[in-house]
Amino acid sequence: MSLNYYEESPREECGVIGIFAPNEDVARMTYFGLYALQHRGQEAAGIAVSDGASVRLHKDIGLVSQVFNNQNLANMQGHYAIGHTRYSTTGSSQLRNAQPFLIETMYGPIAVAHNGNLVNSAELREDLLKHGVGLSSTSDTEIITLMLAGAKGNTWKERIQNVMERWVGAYCLLILTRDHVLAVRDPWGFHPLNVGLLPGGGHAAASETGALRTLGCEAIREIQPGEIVELSNNALTIHQAVPPKKHLAQCTFENIYFARPDNVWHGLSTHHVRQNLGKQLAMEVKIDADVVIPVPDSSIPAAIGYAIESGITYNDGFIKNRYIGRTFIEPTDSLRKQGIALKFNVINENILNKRVIMVDDSIVRGNTTGPLIKLLRSAGAKEVHVVITCPPITHPCFMGVDMGSQDDLIASHKNIDEISHLIGSDSLHFLSLEGMMRAMNAVADPDEKNLRLSDPCSDEQGYCNACFTGIYPFNVNIQNTKTGFEKNIA
């Protein structure tokens, strides 16, 4: 049994960044920006750089620190750059699917980095093949790149706009040409994309605001759904390429789990939203207990919020080895049997003879929660009550979040009592859908003691909750899998 068996939380596809910075080392800037986005994908990384005449690319399987070094960064000189860090949702984790994708076109070179997932990629792929276009990967990003190469229009902005109308699904794109970086966001607004002003001149765009702040960006602005933002010598230009959808579909999991706590999306701090989720959970779930502990790291703000609202003491219960899950060296058989203990250790004195509330962001497959409860009981916990900061996940995601198929989702075929029995908890509680959306839009009072709550969000208010409700923003083929094209290219 590999360590991947114990990966419970859903996974994002990737992080993207693009930079225009004249007279700066844009490759090295992109490298540090990718470091700030490493949490969004740890399978592969890549950077493409243009000096105004030609584009150079370096990418490989591995973490940012494993893929790049001083030598290969020194060979990438220019004013424009895009970067990518990947977790696969369409196409397996192989070098041929690593990004950015770079090709030569009749209009010059173009490189593409993509965060998201097209739900109509099979149809688009078939259309390319019918027109004699060859494909070397099984990634929907290659489909996007090749469609751009064949698009009609006098400028890259026009070509992008013309093909956006055919793309259905989630896409935040950073596109590099000889003398431009263009940032593109889908009209549903599934995932965040932001742009900021660099201190030395020029601009940068990235999946999260934390990456932009790492580079010293100011005047950070969210790229709106359906926009194309152009970074070039002509300064920042913004173009509404396609109208935003009437019902936006922002991914609630960005704030529940994926984004770094310092990210700001729609004017709300992710850390603040997670605290609100914990507070709302404490309003809904009353448990007589001695201590509230988080499952690190994304659940820490929620556990703090739960403790504040409930009045129960907050403390650390687990210490997480943040590197064991990212190693490319397989453990020995004896270590593999240790399973979750390779990744987490318990602080015994904080748990011994305590009634514990364990706060976590989600239960997907149910593989991690049970072993964590066993660790707490082994440390002397009298009771273990599990509270989750979102509703049960009952349906897969097709918009760039790898949750597995519906058969993989424990809540799709077991009720809450059955899950609680399976994982060995004294009780199990999920945040209600209404409570989650209320917390997503809550604004804290200055004294942080109460929440001023908006009305619970409906579809009209702009969120995608398909993984909880089965109501998708558009028609999806539930038979699609991330390796669906692998049978054709081994």
Cα–Cα dist 161/324, whole Å: 43
The reported pLDDT for the residue numbered 227 is 98
The reported pLDDT for the residue numbered 188 is 97
The reported pLDDT for the residue numbered 334 is 72
Cα–Cα dist 385/364, whole Å: 17
Strands 451-452 and 443-444: antiparallel
Global pTM value: 0.89
Question: Among this protein's residues, is 14 annotated catalytic?
Answer: yes
For residue 124, give Cα distances in angstroms to 115, 118, 244. 18, 9, 22
Cα–Cα dist 261/243, whole Å: 30
Domain ranges of the chain: 3-249, 271-457
CATH architecture of residue range(s) 271-457: 3-Layer(aba) Sandwich (3.40)
Is the backbone peptide bond immediately before 331 cis, with ω within 30 degrees of 0? no
Mean pLDDT of residues grouped by 10 in the chain (490 residues)?
A: 45 83 95 95 94 96 95 96 79 76 96 96 95 89 96 97 97 96 97 95 96 96 97 88 95 92 91 97 97 95 98 96 67 73 92 98 92 96 98 93 85 97 98 94 48 41 90 83 50
The hierarchical CATH code for the domain 3-249 is 3.60.20.10
List the catalytic residue out of 14, 217, 464, 467. 14
The reported pLDDT for the residue numbered 457 is 40
